[in-house]
């Protein structure tokens, strides 16, 4: 279970990007985070895996307080947090298999990592996952020869090779065409169920959020103002999340209290 309490992120002396945010994600739930650009969605995900340092607050993953970890303890905790990126973050000159296996680097000694000596069990698991997502036949191909959807599947498998306790996805479909976007969202949903894995997705496409996720969290100016099932995302709720009017602010406060 991921439990975030009173999370604040501030850059310098400016207005906080995240404002006393509370959020709990558990089970094999697929949760989408929606909101306008600048709402704090990406910052939220990056605070969870400590790519961005929280200013204050608590982030607990299955009993471990992530905000207090440093050095080796932090590196070990990050192994348990899978991340799928909008821009794929693959090494283009490496093969699909090499990119996938990089998800195991946090579990290897320095010598084994440099020499790329992976345990047979890791290699077997990599082929199983690549077969599951439909890219096993590309194992020896360079990553830069793949389509966007294929590259994102490599990114998903790389994250799963970490054997994560939660999977974070930061705009995983933003660089993809509509059909491929739907395929990736369906894949994430299916994998959540198959692997009993909670998934937290930052996404701009509200239609996909409603179709492929179990719960929608709406953010505005660093606060969560909506947290409910997709069916509860009414036009009024959308107005509160995306409009900048004072009336929408009051509506959003009401929505948060109701949820």
2 close to 22: Cβ distance less than 8 angstroms: no
- For 213, the token pair is 């996720």
78 close to 64: Cβ distance less than 8 angstroms: no
- For 257, the token pair is 């209290």
pLDDT digits (tens, 9 = 90+) for 178-223: 999 999 999 999 999 999 999 999 999 999 999 999 999 999 999 9
How far apart CA 185 and CA 180 sit, in angstroms, is: 9
pTM listed for this prediction? 0.91
What pLDDT score was predicted for residue 98?
Answer: 95
51 close to 170: Cβ distance less than 8 angstroms: no
How far apart CA 109 and CA 130 sit, in angstroms, is: 24
pLDDT band of residue 255 (cuts 50, 70, 90) is low
Task: Check whether 242 has a pLDDT greater than 90.
Answer: yes
What pLDDT score was predicted for residue 108?
Answer: 82
Any idea which residue has 């996720």 for tokens?
A: 213
Tell me the domains of the chain and their CATH numbers: 1-62+193-258 (3.40.50.300)
Give, to the nearest 10 degrees, the angle between helix 148-160 and helix 178-195. Answer: 20
Q: Is 197 left (phi over 0), alpha (psi -120 to 50) or beta?
A: beta
- Residue by residue, DSSP assigns 75-136 as HHHHTTEEEEETT----TTSBHHHHHHGGGGGGS-HHHHHHT---HHHHHHHHHHHHHHT-G
Mean pLDDT of the region 243-247? 56
pLDDT digits (tens, 9 = 90+) for 85-109: 999 999 999 999 999 999 998 888 7
Q: Is 11 left (phi over 0), alpha (psi -120 to 50) or beta?
A: beta
95 close to 126: Cβ distance less than 8 angstroms: no
pLDDT digits (tens, 9 = 90+) for 144-183: 999 999 999 999 999 999 999 999 999 999 989 999 999 9
pLDDT digits (tens, 9 = 90+) for 28-82: 999 999 999 999 999 999 999 999 999 999 999 999 999 999 998 998 999 999 9
């Amino acid at each position: 279970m991921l439990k975030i309490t009173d999370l604040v992120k501030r850059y310098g002396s400016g207005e906080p990007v995240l404002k006393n945010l509370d959020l709990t994600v558990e089970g094999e739930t697929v949760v989408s985070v929606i909101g306008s650009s600048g709402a704090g969605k990406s910052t939220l995900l990056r605070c969870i895996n400590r790519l961005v340092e929280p200013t204050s607050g608590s982030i607990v993953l299955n009993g471990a307080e992530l905000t207090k970890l440093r050095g080796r303890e932090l590196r070990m905790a990050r192994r348990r947090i899978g991340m799928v990126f909008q821009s794929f973050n693959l090494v283009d000159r490496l093969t699909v298999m090499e990119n996938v296996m990089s998800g195991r680097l946090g579990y290897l000694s320095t010598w084994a990592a440099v020499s790329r000596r992976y345990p047979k069990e890791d290699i077997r698991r990599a082929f199983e996952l690549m077969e599951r997502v439909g890219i096993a036949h590309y194992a020896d191909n360079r990553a830069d020869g793949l389509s966007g959807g294929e590259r994102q599947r490599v990114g998903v498998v790389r994250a799963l090779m970490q054997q994560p306790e939660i999977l974070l996805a930061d705009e995983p479909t933003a660089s993809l065409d509509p059909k491929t976007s739907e395929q990736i969202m369906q894949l994430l949903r299916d994998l959540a169920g198959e692997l009993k894995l909670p998934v937290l997705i930052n996404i701009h496409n509200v239609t996909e959020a409603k179709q492929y996720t179990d719960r929608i969290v709406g953010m505005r100016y660093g606060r969560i103002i909506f947290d409910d099932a997709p069916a509860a995302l009414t036009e009024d709720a959308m107005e509160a999340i995306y409009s900048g009017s004072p009336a929408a602010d009051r509506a959003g406060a009401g929505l948060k209290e109701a949820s």
